[in-house]
Structure 1
Amino acid sequence: MNALRPYRASDWPEVLALWIEAWTRARADIDFSARAPWLAELFAKSLAEGARIVVAEDESGLAGFVLFDPARKWLEQIAVHPRAQGAGAARELIGHAKAACPAGLALSVNADNCRALAFYAREGFAKEAEGVNPLSGLPTLRLRWTPVTPSPAPQPPR
Structure 2
Amino acid sequence: MSETIIRTAVPAEYDAVATLWMESWCSTGLDSPSETLLNMLKARVPREVAGGWSLYVADDGGTLGAMLAINIERLYLDQLMIAPAYQGRSLGRRLLAFTRDVLPDEIWLRCAEGNQKAWRWYEREGFVLEKTEADPMHGRMMKFYRWKRESPARV
Report the TM-score when normalising by structure 2.
Answer: 0.87
Asked which structure has the greater CA Rg, the reply is 1
Moved over 6 A (4+): none
Among 130, 133, 145, which residue is 1:131 paired with? 133
| Cα RMSD, aligned residues only | 2.0
Aligned partners of 1:32 and 1:147: how far apart in 2? Answer: 39
Aligned partners of 1:33 and 1:79: how far apart in 2? Answer: 19
**In percent, how many aligned pairs have the same letter?**
24
SS at match of 1:150: coil
Aligned partners of 2:43 and 2:57: how far apart in 1? Answer: 18
Q: Which segment drifts farther, 23-32 or 133-142?
A: 23-32
Q: Is there any run of 5+ residues in structure 2 with no aligned partner, and where?
A: none
Aligned partners of 2:35 and 2:121: how far apart in 1? Answer: 25
Aligned partners of 1:33 and 1:103: how far apart in 2? Answer: 39
In structure 1, the partner of 2:83 is: 81
Contact 1:24 1:32 in 2 (8 A): no
Report the TM-score when normalising by structure 1.
Answer: 0.85
Aligned partners of 2:43 and 2:108: how far apart in 1? Answer: 21
Q: Which segment drifts farther, 33-42 or 3-12?
A: 33-42
1:60 CA drift (Å): 7.1
Aligned partners of 2:145 and 2:151: how far apart in 1? Answer: 19
In structure 1, the partner of 2:26 is: 24
Aligned partners of 2:59 and 2:86: how far apart in 1? Answer: 10
